[in-house]
Every structure is written in structure tokens, then in C-alpha cells.
Amino acid sequence: MKPTENVLEIRNLVKDFPGVRAVDDVSFDIKRNTVHCLVGENGAGKSTLIKILTGVYERTSGQILLNGEEHDPQNPRDAKQKGISTLFQELNVVDQLTVEENLSLGVEETTFGFLRRTDKTNQMVSVMNSIEPSIKPGQLVSTLSVAKKQIVEIARAVAAESNIIIMDEPTAAISESEIARLFTIIRSLRENNVTVIYISHRLDEIFEIGDNVTVMRDGGHIATKPVAEIEDRSELIRMMIGKTVFEHYMPRDDISPDLILQVKNLSNHRLNDISFDVKAGEVVGFYGLVGAGKTELARAIFGADHCDGEILFKGEKLRANPEKSIAAGIALVPEERRTQGLFTILTIRGNVPVMNMSKISRSGFINAAKERTVAQEYVEKLNIATNSIEKEAAKLSGGNQQKVVLSKCLFADADLLMLDEPTRGIDVGAKSEIYSLIRQLSNEGKTIIIFSSELPEIMNICDSIHLLYDGSLKSTLRNGLDVDSEYILHVVTGGD
């Protein structure tokens, strides 16, 4: 059968989750042997679409044709066997194994219990050598840079005869020189009959490497165009944000002039000489896209990661230690709430007081009555949807889990709350409740710093906005009528 011009054809694709439509009647084609870019804000539906293509999610309705034939993968392995491989931002390599062992992972062959090198392994090593000869089959993957680990994954995908390779934010954690090398590899893949689906928030990369681009917004398909037909970054940004009307920020004149936090020349492996001040009672936003350094900045201020520079809280130097930060009155709601913010095997009652156990205990013994009272108080205060404070945190919805994490921080009597992606993965109703809670806490005198990759969130509730790109603070804006969303996206996607 003669191959069609399109390697993938997506027709009226829909994916529903309880209470939300993540992909809404999406249709577009991906041409064979091209670099097809996929862009959109966080929550636009890009990741859900990719997970349908790779068999992680089952579509609700619609049709996908792969090489002209129906494509309905049952799982990622099935998709891979049909020629679709994915390079995730979180690389799928095992640091403790050698390069060769990683290449053959999952397809090992043995003789009398001993691994043996097969023709397939030799082919993978050959492909890898053709891309990057400096990588040796016998060296541990832990000794490789992120860029070289990517090459190991690319070699594995090419040797598996993948005709589509999906790259999800592949440049988020690599240097400019490594990016240039990756782009050379991508062009080589295209010349060797491999189609690359390239997902990135860095718009300059789209113009440099892309043949075609699909823009998604709010789960829908906005446009698919040749990159050469897009006039400039501004046109692409307008397609990404559309005519979305953000809930209006209400200017405030009650913010204290007193500084509660002063950060001076903060630097580490990811941050570059960052300095800023925060006023008492202010809601401050740090906005940036994937890889901008938001989480690293939050962790550095909290003392979870080492950094150089100086941090003053209430005029006193802050020690780089989470325990000291909590004692001083700083609490962090981490991005990964399930793994870093909660004890998921504990109940709501067991989670709420853990950052300030001294308030419910005496001589090392917990006062069970106080513990129950505190948990019930925060269930009511934050409107946590549960039929009992004895419900395990793991069994709560994402929004209610986030409210439990917020409860912990509030019970710790924190004067400064740092919220890293506070509404990621939760539904619209829970988002609205959390926004209302943030405003209420600010009105009560709490100082709040929000680290977010969602622009409407930042523009809706923050008094001042700091823009991050590639570990550096690029611009600071005072929220109000003159804040330009196009300018913001221009800055955080690498524009001058």
C-alpha cells in the first residue's frame, strides 16, 4: 500500500474526565517526515492528546488514523510496537545501569541466565554512535549529561524503527550548546524518514526547528499552519491566548510598605543571581513556563535546596533549612502535593497538624480531642469535601488534597505562604475556591507568593508579577490595567 502524505490523521477527537472535557472535538493532520510542533498554554490539552496517541488514555470519541489505518493503542507498549515512541521531559533511563543495558532495557536476551549482546543491541549501539560517538556503551548512564541521556533514548527509539518520535519539552533542562546539538539530531531524524512531534513553550524553538505548528487552547484546536506562514511570535501568542478574558484583578491600596522578605543575589545550579523584595500582606506571583526555575526558587527560599546569596525574613537572615523556615513563619505548598505535601496513607485528621504538633500535644503525647477539633475546624474553614475527618488523604480529589496541604500550612501559623502550582490538576470549581481563599488570607494579613505556569492565575490574583526565564528574573510588573499578557508571554518564551 502506498504511504499517505499524512502519517497521522486526527478526526473529531474527544476526551472527557469527570467534570471536565480535556480534548474537545480536535481535528488536524501531521505530515510524514516533518517536525510538527504542538503549542498552547498549560491546560490547553496537549498532554492529554499525546497520552491518547500513545495509549495512556482511551479516547471518549473520535478517530485516529496512523499511516491510513485505524490507530487505537491499548497501552504505551502497543503504541511503541506500532511505531510511536515518546521522549518525556522526565527521562526514562536508569542511572545505575550502563548505556548498553539501558538501550536493551525491556528487550533483553539471555543465555543460561547471562545477558548477551544481540543484533538488536548492536543496532542500537550503532545508531547511538552515529549520533554521538563520545557515548561509550559500557559507561554508567549516571555519568552522562541530560542531553546525552536524551541521545540514549533517541537511539533506542530509532533502533526500534519508530516512525514517529514525540519530544515533550526536550530542551527544558539542557544548555544552549546542547540544544543546538539536539536540533541537528532532529533534522537528521527528519531526513531519515522519522516524523517528530515537538512540544515546547519556547516559541523561538518553534520557528527554528518546526515545519508545521498546531495551536491548542482550552482543549480545542485553534489552528494548524506551516511555520513559514506565521508572521512572528506575536501572531503565535495571539493564537495561544485568544480573546480569553481574565477575571479582573482588583487593585489594592492597603498593602503595607514594610518588607517581609528580601532576596539578594540568589544563585545555584538552576538560578542566576535573582533579587527581589516582598511587602507584608502582598500577593506576589512568579510566572514562567516549564524549566523557568519556579520550583527551584521556591525550594531555595524555603531552604530545601542549597543556594548562594542572602535571604532576609522580617529583617533577619534566614537559615537554609526547612525546619528553621517553618519555625520562622514560612510554609511551602509544594508542586507535587501527593509525594511531597501529604502523608497519603494518613487521614485528614492525621495530616492537618503535622507541621505544628506542639499545639496539639503535651510531653510527647497527642491530645486526640484537640487533633479532631483542629481537623474539623479546617475542613469547615476550607470547605474540604469529605464525609469524615477519618478519610485517607489518598482518597480525596486533587482539589481537596490541595486544601489539606493548605490547612497544614495555615495551622503552622505561617506569615509567609509559598504556593508552587497551587491549582495544577484540579477542577475549575476547586480552583475558584482556592483563589478566594488566597484573597481572604491576604486580606487577613498573610503574605503569599505564588509560583505558577498559568498566566490567568497570576494575572487574576497577584499584586506584583515577576517573570522568569531559564533561571533568571527577566522583568517585574505591578498588576493593573496596563499589564499586557502578550508582553508577558513574549518575555517568558525567551523574547528580549
Question: How do residues 35-66 score in pLDDT, each as one tens digit?
Answer: 999 988 766 888 889 999 999 999 999 999 99
- From 241, 273, 293, the end of a domain falls on 241
Q: What is the pLDDT of residues 356-410, one digit of tens each?
A: 788 888 887 888 888 888 888 888 887 887 888 888 888 887 778 888 888 887 8
Could you tell me if 407 and 453 lie in one domain?
yes
Instruction: Give the pLDDT confidence score for residue 427 in this predicted structure.
Output: 53
What is the mean pLDDT of the segment spanning 307-311? 91
- pLDDT more than 90, % of the chain: 30
Confidence (pTM)? 0.60
Could you tell me if 287 and 361 lie in one domain?
yes
Q: How many domains does the chain have?
A: 2
Could you tell me if 103 and 184 lie in one domain?
yes
Query: Is residue 219 a part of any domain in this protein?
Result: yes
Average pLDDT, rounded, for the chain? 84
Cα 58 to Cα 80: distance, rounded to the nearest angstrom: 16
Cα 105 to Cα 99: distance, rounded to the nearest angstrom: 10
176 vs 462, higher pLDDT:
462
Query: Is residue 87 a part of any domain in this protein?
Result: yes
Query: Is residue 88 a part of any domain in this protein?
Result: yes
Band the pLDDT of 111: cuts 50, 70, 90.
low
Could you tell me if 227 and 303 lie in one domain?
no
Instruction: Give the pLDDT confidence score for residue 1 in this predicted structure.
Output: 44
Cα 441 off chain centre by: 26
Query: Is residue 249 a part of any domain in this protein?
Result: no
Could you tell me if 234 and 287 lie in one domain?
no
**How many C-beta atoms surround the C-beta of residue 269 within 10 A?**
9
Q: Which domain holds residue 23?
A: 6-241
CATH number for position 220: 3.40.50.300
- In this structure, which amino acid lies at residue 150? Q
C-alpha cell at 245: 478574558
pLDDT at 451 over 90: yes
Q: What is the pLDDT of residues 269-289, one digit of tens each?
A: 889 999 999 999 999 999 987
What is the mean pLDDT of the segment spanning 486-495? 86
Could you tell me if 340 and 237 lie in one domain?
no
Could you tell me if 315 and 395 lie in one domain?
yes
What is the mean pLDDT of the segment spanning 474-481? 85
Cα 388 to Cα 372: distance, rounded to the nearest angstrom: 10
Instruction: Give the pLDDT confidence score for residue 55 in this predicted structure.
Output: 92
Residue 272 gets which letter from DSSP? -
Could you tell me if 218 and 101 lie in one domain?
yes
